[in-house]
Amino acid sequence: MTDYALAVDVGGTKVEAALVAADGVLSPGSRDRRPTGHDSTSDQLADAVRDVVRHALASLGSDDVLVGAGIGSAGPVDLVEGTVSPINLPAWRGFPLRTVVAELLAEDLPVTLRLDGVSLALAEHWVGATQGADNAVAITVSTGVGGGLIVNGRLLSGGTGNAGHIGQIQIADRPEGENAWAATLEVIASGPNVVRWAQQQGWQGERGEDLAAGYVAGDEIAVAAVRRSANAVGEAISSVTTLLDLDVAAIGGGFSRVSDDYLDLVRATVEEAPVNGYARRVRVVRSGLSDESPLVGAAALVWQADLLG
């Protein structure tokens, strides 16, 4: 007999679910995913959630026990209402995601919703690279930029559940004629936006993989684009560490591997940028989690519930 948490992850390009045991290991065969996307309808997204949840639940053995469900979702989220309004899924505004998942479970099972980056921070603290650190930030640099915080040994959710939205902090002067979004970390550092910036400078590539190859080859624009991204991440870490006096910053996500020295570039900025010296002590490390991290994070909302802020 094994106890499991149902883990559900909702992002801009996919939704997936799995059963996760108390040691953070996924149950074989329980993981399933469905595509999402900017053009998906609300019904399509809801059906995708139901499909992956049903698949996971169907893999429960006769002696297995489901103890609860954790949902990590792109945000913003509303913890009081249990709703989500993901920036990259415009069909969902105030969508009752917690209720949709709860309706597929036994009535007495707890269902916990948090921002996906917040869930990731809890996973890193549980079984990843920030174990033992009481003050840490976890950052994903990928299609977007997400994050979450552990402060004084507890998960920081904030007043509405949206603490950790590091991708939307402004780290640059707003370009003339542009809105505030153009000055955010996500626009400057995330994979598709870095590629777009490089193309605007005359670079001829099309994808992050092309940018990685250009970086290795010493292409000036590719090198400048990667360094611009890493510098922005370093500046964000410096700012957050100055505010919260953090011990560790764990960085993951596909674009963080665009170059072998990406983390070194981030570290260089973290060493240079702070006004206050204590902010330089933060250790920048690679995420200790695999591509299962969003699901492990969602499951951590169940297995590490005593740390929820």
- For residues 30 and 165, which has the higher predicted lDDT (pLDDT)? 30
Residue ranges making up the domain that contains 213: 129-286
Tokens of 171: 């780290």
Q: Are residues 206 and 66 in the same domain?
A: no
Distance, in Å, from the CA atom of 163 to the CA atom of 154, rounded to the nearest integer, reads 13
Q: What is the CATH number of the domain that holds 249?
A: 3.30.420.40
Phi, psi of 119 (to 5 degrees): -60, -40
Q: Are residues 282 and 142 in the same domain?
A: yes
Domain membership flag for residue 298: no
> Is the pLDDT at 178 greater than 80, yes or no?
no
pLDDT-derived band at 143, boundaries 50, 70, 90: confident
DSSP 8-state code for residue 66? E
pLDDT-derived band at 144, boundaries 50, 70, 90: confident
Q: Are residues 66 and 139 in the same domain?
A: no
Q: Are residues 174 and 243 in the same domain?
A: yes
Q: Are residues 44 and 143 in the same domain?
A: no
Based on its alpha-carbon atoms, the radius of gyration of the chain, rounded to whole angstroms, reads 19
Q: Are residues 161 and 100 in the same domain?
A: no
> Is the pLDDT at 309 greater than 70, yes or no?
no
Coil, helix or strand at residue 33: strand
Distance, in Å, from the CA atom of 170 to the CA atom of 186, rounded to the nearest integer, reads 9
Distance, in Å, from the CA atom of 131 to the CA atom of 127, rounded to the nearest integer, reads 7
Distance, in Å, from the CA atom of 40 to the CA atom of 34, rounded to the nearest integer, reads 12
Task: Give Cα separations from 143 to 5, 206, 271, 276 (angstroms).
Answer: 27, 14, 26, 32
Q: Write out pLDDT tens, residues 271-284.
A: 999 999 999 999 99
Calculate the CA dihedral of residues 149, 115, 78, 239 and round it to 10 degrees.
40
Distance, in Å, from the CA atom of 154 to the CA atom of 125, rounded to the nearest integer, reads 10
From the list 301, 210, 290, 223, the residue with the least C-alpha distance to 253 is 290
Structural domain count, the chain: 2
β-bridge partners, 284: 249
Domain membership flag for residue 219: yes
Q: Write out pLDDT tens, residues 71-98.
A: 999 889 999 999 999 988 999 999 999 9
Rounded to two decimals, the pTM is 0.88
Task: Give Cα separations from 205 to 66, 143, 228, 253 (angstroms).
Answer: 47, 17, 17, 21
Query: How would you class 137 by CB atoms within 10 Å of its CB: exposed for 0-12, middle for 13-18, buried for 19 or more?
Result: buried
Domain membership flag for residue 13: yes
Coil, helix or strand at residue 4: strand
Which pLDDT belongs to residue 47? 97
Q: Are residues 45 and 136 in the same domain?
A: no
